Amino acid sequence: MVAAQLLRARKGLDVAIIEPSEEHYYQPAYTLVGAGLMKKSATVRKEKRQIPKKATWIKDYVETIDPDSMEVILRSGDVVAYEYLIVAPGIQINLDGIEGLKEAYGKNGVCSNYIDPDYTWEVLRNFKGGVALFTQPATPIKCPGAPQKIMYLTADHIRRNKLEDKTTIVFATPGTVIFGTEPFKTELKHYVNEVYDVAQRYGYKLVKIDGEKKEAHYERLALPEGRTDYVHNDDTNRAGFKGYYPENGQIVEFAEANGPLNELKEGARFVIKYDMLHLAPPQSAPGWFRKTKLANPDGPDKGWMAVDKHTLQSRFYKNVFGAGDVTDLPTARTGAAIRKQAPTIVKNLLAVMDGKDAAYEGYNGYSSCPLVVAHNRMLLAEFKYDNVRSSDPLLSKFFDTGKASYPMWLLKRYGLPFMYWNMMLKGYNF
């Protein structure tokens, strides 16, 4: 997208794209694939058809970047010299980030749309009741709404197949709220509490998966401002809760524990038994990138690319810009964010090429999350920095994007993929 916009903005530029993939996937549709509402084959196209015609495609992997010598070193051993660099290597999935995950994944009902949505659909298709557990790691992840989307679609599938009386749906997250921005937060609370009766656990950090026993182990984190409401819409007799670790490390039934679930202390360890487990795996900036001088060397954003949050320019090298999931931008890592990041990068990069400063503070943290809550309903959560709502003014004239609706579902299923393939990747700025 950035390359296409650069070539549209200024003729004669020598632009190269280093990309090893033969195929290009529209990953936002993986939620629909995992729910059986779309074929994975509909999400993939040939990479060569997405490369702008006037750009040079270097089909190789990057081993490292040396910003001091302005060189990119490739896996083949070749070295690509540059004058200006846009870094967009995305995000890395780390299956070894949670004990037992690598061994458990792909069998015994442990699935993830982030890795293989076809297997998610297989698990869901064969689900006949029990505990359906949806969870996510304490690390940053791409599309942070995705663990919820498949939960809603699973709940919808269970209702349509009349399995509600045989099923308990559990949402366990290290986060503290279902969503951070209104009015989307209120609408989603309506779905988890009133429509689908989801048992919710907040401040729950996944630390271990025992695939053979079908158990997920959690550690309780501290909630902000003295809150103790870890558990919502749940009770001690509900399926899925096995017990907690007292000081001797033994798992006990909750009936033997001392006090209600919300009164157990921070740091307590819990086990949730499951029949189906969908998770977002732990994620990070790519391992090779974390070692470069473009990454934050320390602090809470260690390893992520250090960029100015409004200009997208590297904080360490003026001729380098960052886009997408690898950056340390304090906003959600989504495809929608790139739509606003790309033109900001292009405008500032052209200014730097002309000997000027990257002074255009065009990016305000815009991101969006199309939250599918049923097989024919979606709400479009759009926001910017500090969790401030930032809905599209044109779209908002015709629809209440804060309410789940059928027109929004059509946008998700047909409109957004069309925009991605035919507008975003072609370099149209809108």
Query: Would you please indicate which residues are annotated as catalytic (active-site) residues?
Result: 143, 369
What confidence score (pLDDT) does residue 138 get? 96
What confidence score (pLDDT) does residue 266 get? 79
What confidence score (pLDDT) does residue 226 get? 78
CB neighbour burial string for 312-321, b if at least 16 within 10 angstroms, e if fewer: bbbbbbebbb
The ranges assigned to domains in the chain are: 2-91+285-359, 95-279
Strand partners, 219: 205, 269
The reply to whether domains 2-91+285-359 and 95-279 share a CATH topology is yes
What confidence score (pLDDT) does residue 397 get? 82
What confidence score (pLDDT) does residue 44 get? 98
- Whether the model clears a pTM of 0.85, i.e. scores above it, the answer is yes
What confidence score (pLDDT) does residue 257 get? 38
Question: 110: Cβ–Cβ under 8 A, 6 or more apart, which residues?
Answer: 101, 104, 209, 211, 277, 279
CATH ID of 95-279, from 3.40.50.300, 3.30.565.10, 3.50.50.60, 3.30.1310.10: 3.50.50.60
Which residues of the chain fall short of a pLDDT of 70?
234-261, 263-264
What confidence score (pLDDT) does residue 250 get? 62
CA distance 240 to 216: 10
CATH of domain 2-91+285-359: 3.50.50.60
What confidence score (pLDDT) does residue 376 get? 97
What confidence score (pLDDT) does residue 129 get? 93
CA distance 35 to 154: 7
CA distance 108 to 5: 46
What confidence score (pLDDT) does residue 318 get? 98
